[in-house]
């Protein structure tokens, strides 16, 4: 009995010591991570799906509300062109994959801590934590699907840089450009212009964990470099493709490897577009695409011609799936 009591005390102490970091997630329906915050931060209720650690008095405050009933909510978006889009959103946990610091899967955009605009792209080296601020460009540089460049991005990440806890507004054109491998944590693109993220790494692995992207007419991730991109606990809604290996870049080649786990994609196209002639691969697990669109396979080129599509769906070699479904 004494041994059992000691073990129980130790287990309780371990649970009590687990605290969410600054700006981290600390509550919400289905949340299994810590529900208290580090000293000086308070767990603030945002909605039934998301509570976040914000600066405040006390040594590890807790959220004032806890949701235990599975519900759904509807969000309405209105752009400056008076287009209104209504999307039903639900909390989904495909194959688990929770995580601290806002890197678990959620289908609801976190509340903004404020907003700021910049006249040019912000260059990031090291680690940048945006504290859930919304960043946008002013003057507006978005030109829809017209080709723009790195200078029209919101953020430019140097090789090895990390960006986390950021909302990106609609007036930038290219979201984030990574000059080398990069880490993207809990970043939300509220209205993708041309592309949300462009990867230029020569080799290695870039990581996208948590967060999501909405309203992408074409691609969310444009993979122009080489190596691997890992996408985990990510949400996409109203989009063309989640990832596309460049089909006709100058000096094109490969391989480019896409690894997706616990991704939920709704009202859009395929999760991956890859060039099999360059040895590109796409591995999808524990994920949902509501129309069963997982991969398109192309023959890439380096002369700028439109690459022909040679097949769709898993083929067991270049595109593989495990525990995928259409009920999101």
For residues 45 and 123, state if they share a domain: no
**Residue 316, number of CB atoms within 10 A of its CB:** 7
C-alpha to C-alpha distance for 278 and 257, rounded to whole angstroms: 10
Same domain as 288, residue 180: yes
Q: Let me know if residue 268 belongs to a domain.
A: yes
Token pair, residue 301, equals: 């080129």
Containing structural domain, residue 145:
104-322
Q: Is residue 306 part of a domain?
A: yes
In a shared domain, residues 149 and 237: yes
Instruction: Give the CATH number of the domain where residue 295 resides.
Output: 2.160.20.10
Does some domain include residue 122?
A: yes
108/57 same-domain check: no
Give the list of residues 6+ apart from residue 151 with CB closer than 8 angstroms, or none. Answer: 120, 121
> What pLDDT is stored for residue 324 in this prediction?
98
Reduced to 3 states (helix: H, G, I; strand: E, B; else coil), residue 273 is strand
47 located within any domain: yes
Q: Same structural domain for residues 61 and 117?
A: no
Count of all residues that appear for the chain in the document? 328
Please give the model's pTM, rounded to 2 decimal places. Answer: 0.72
Last residue of one domain, picked from the residues 65, 91, 114: 65
User: Is 242 inside any structural domain?
Assistant: yes
- 81: its two tokens: 């062109």
Angstrom distance (rounded) from CA 302 to CA 252: 5
Give the end of a domain, one of 42, 65, 88. 65
Write down which residue in 45, 65, 85 finishes a domain.
Answer: 65
Residue with tokens 């041309």: 194
Query: Do 173 and 245 reside in the same domain of the chain?
Result: yes
Q: How many domains does the chain have?
A: 2
Same domain, 156 and 55: no
50 in a structural domain = yes
- Do 116 and 46 belong to one domain? no
Give the pLDDT score at 65.
39
Distance (Å, whole) CA 180 – CA 216: 23
Residue 59: inside a domain, yes or no?
A: yes
What pLDDT score does 15 carry? 39
Residue 141 and residue 35 share a domain: no
Task: Examine the domain organization and report whether 115 and 248 are in the same domain.
Answer: yes
The per-residue pLDDT for 97 is 32
Residue 264 bridge partners (DSSP):
235, 288
* Tens-binned pLDDT, residue by residue, of the chain (328 aa): 444 444 444 443 443 458 887 767 787 766 778 899 888 878 877 655 567 777 664 444 444 333 322 233 333 333 333 232 323 333 333 333 333 458 999 999 999 999 999 999 999 999 999 999 999 999 999 988 887 899 999 999 999 999 999 999 999 999 999 999 999 999 999 999 999 999 999 999 999 999 999 999 999 999 999 999 999 999 999 999 999 999 999 999 999 999 999 999 999 999 999 999 999 999 999 999 999 999 999 999 999 999 999 999 999 999 999 999 999 9
For 154, 235, 290, 294, the CA distances from 188, given in Å and listed in that order, are: 12, 9, 21, 22
Statement to judge: residues 303 and 223 lie in one domain: yes
Q: Are residues 198 and 312 in the same domain?
A: yes
pLDDT recorded at residue 290: 97
Task: Note whether residue 251 is domain-resident.
Answer: yes
């Amino acid at each position: 009995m004494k041994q059992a009591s000691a073990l129980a005390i130790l287990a309780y102490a371990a649970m009590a010591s687990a605290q969410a970091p600054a700006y981290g997630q600390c509550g919400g329906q289905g949340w299994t991570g810590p529900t208290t915050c580090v000293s000086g931060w308070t767990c603030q209720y945002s909605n039934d799906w998301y509570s976040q650690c914000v600066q405040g008095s006390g040594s590890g405050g807790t959220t004032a509300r806890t949701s235990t009933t599975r519900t759904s909510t509807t969000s309405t978006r209105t752009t400056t062109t008076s287009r209104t889009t209504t999307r039903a959103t639900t909390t989904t946990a495909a194959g688990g994959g929770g995580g601290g610091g806002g890197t678990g899967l959620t289908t609801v955009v976190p509340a903004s801590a404020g907003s700021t605009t910049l006249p040019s792209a912000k260059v990031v080296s090291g680690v940048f934590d945006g504290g859930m601020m919304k960043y946008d460009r002013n003057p507006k540089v978005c030109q829809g699907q017209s080709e723009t460049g790195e200078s029209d991005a919101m953020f430019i990440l140097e090789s090895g840089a990390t960006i986390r806890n950021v909302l990106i507004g609609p007036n930038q054109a290219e979201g984030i450009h990574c000059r080398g491998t990069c880490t993207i944590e809990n970043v939300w693109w509220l209205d993708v212009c041309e592309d949300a993220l462009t990867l230029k790494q020569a080799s290695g692995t870039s990581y996208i964990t948590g967060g999501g992207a909405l309203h992408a007419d074409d691609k969310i991730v444009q993979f122009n470099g080489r190596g691997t991109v890992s996408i985990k606990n990510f949400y996409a809604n109203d989009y063309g493709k989640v990832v596309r290996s460049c089909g006709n870049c100058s000096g094109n080649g490969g391989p480019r490897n896409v690894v997706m786990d616990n991704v939920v994609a709704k009202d859009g196209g395929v999760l991956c577009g890859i060039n099999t002639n360059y040895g590109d691969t796409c591995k999808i697990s524990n994920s949902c695409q509501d129309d069963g669109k997982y991969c398109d396979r192309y023959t890439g080129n380096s002369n700028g011609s439109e690459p022909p599509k040679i097949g769709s769906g898993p083929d067991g070699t270049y595109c593989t799936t495990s525990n995928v479904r259409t009920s999101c």
